[in-house]
Amino acid sequence: MTQEILIAGFGGQGVLSMGMTLAYAGMLDGKEVSWMPSYGPEMRGGTANCIVILADEPVSSPIITSFDTLVALNQPSLDKFEKAVKKGGTLLYEKSTIITPPTRTDITILPVDAAREAELLKNKKIGNMIMVGVFLGLNDVVSVDSVMRALEKVLPERYHHLIPVNRDAVERGRSLVGETVTSLEESHE
């Protein structure tokens, strides 16, 4: 099993921490991992993306150009990377920031209103963890417990009190998979 993931958005959306969390969780679950961040000089508000590879065998190179999964958190990222999703792959996108939705028919596309779900959980900063939950709901590559343990490494200690709400966000994201797929199927009937 190898899962090659690209997470992309604006700085400040939690792009790099999502990738780092998945990579740490992969290590905790005994996977071979690679995490390669890329961001502009403006960190917050500039573009940011990272490549995460989770595998059962050694990762030959962290530099890849096509992905099993794209998580696009804004329109520029979707526009830039939609074509990089492998045929049969998955594209998750933040519904509230995408004006022009993806149009490919050879991949699975799931719009996720993570921003709204984060507001319902009363913390606007956990939208990224809702997306992690959606990803995990589609791809059973790392455990939720490992993601939570990974957050202890990724988050500064002063934010460890937020780990329970992050667990709620991941669990909510996992539950959204069934709801989103059902509503998409109903809209295509």
Separation CA 184–CA 186 (nearest Å): 5
Which pLDDT score, from 0 to 100, does residue 183 have? Answer: 47
Separation CA 28–CA 162 (nearest Å): 20
Which pLDDT score, from 0 to 100, does residue 188 have? Answer: 45
* DSSP codes of every residue in 78-110: HHHHGGGEEEEEEEEEEGGG-SS----SSSEEE
Which pLDDT score, from 0 to 100, does residue 39 have? Answer: 77
Other CB atoms within 10 Å distance of the CB of residue 75: 16
Separation CA 148–CA 21 (nearest Å): 8
Q: Mean pLDDT score of the chain, rounded to an integer?
A: 91
Does the pLDDT value for residue 2 go beyond 80?
Answer: yes
Which pLDDT score, from 0 to 100, does residue 12 have? Answer: 83
pLDDT (mean) for 121-125: 92
Domain 2-187 has CATH 3.20.20.140: no
pLDDT in tens, 168-188: 999 999 999 977 654 444 444
pLDDT in tens, 65-79: 999 999 999 999 999
pLDDT (mean) for 115-131: 95
Domain residue ranges in the chain: 2-187
67 Cβ neighbours under 8 A, 6+ residues apart: 4, 5, 6, 51, 81, 84, 85, 86, 89
Which pLDDT score, from 0 to 100, does residue 52 have? Answer: 97
Distances (CA, A) of 42 to 10, 46, 48, 141: 10, 5, 9, 32
Q: What is the pTM of this model?
A: 0.91
Side-by-side strand order, sheet with 108-112: 32-39, 47-55, 2-10, 67-72, 85-94, 108-112
pLDDT in tens, 6-64: 999 988 889 999 999 999 999 999 999 999 998 766 556 677 999 999 999 999 888 89
Does the pLDDT value for residue 1 go beyond 70?
Answer: yes
Which pLDDT score, from 0 to 100, does residue 187 have? Answer: 47
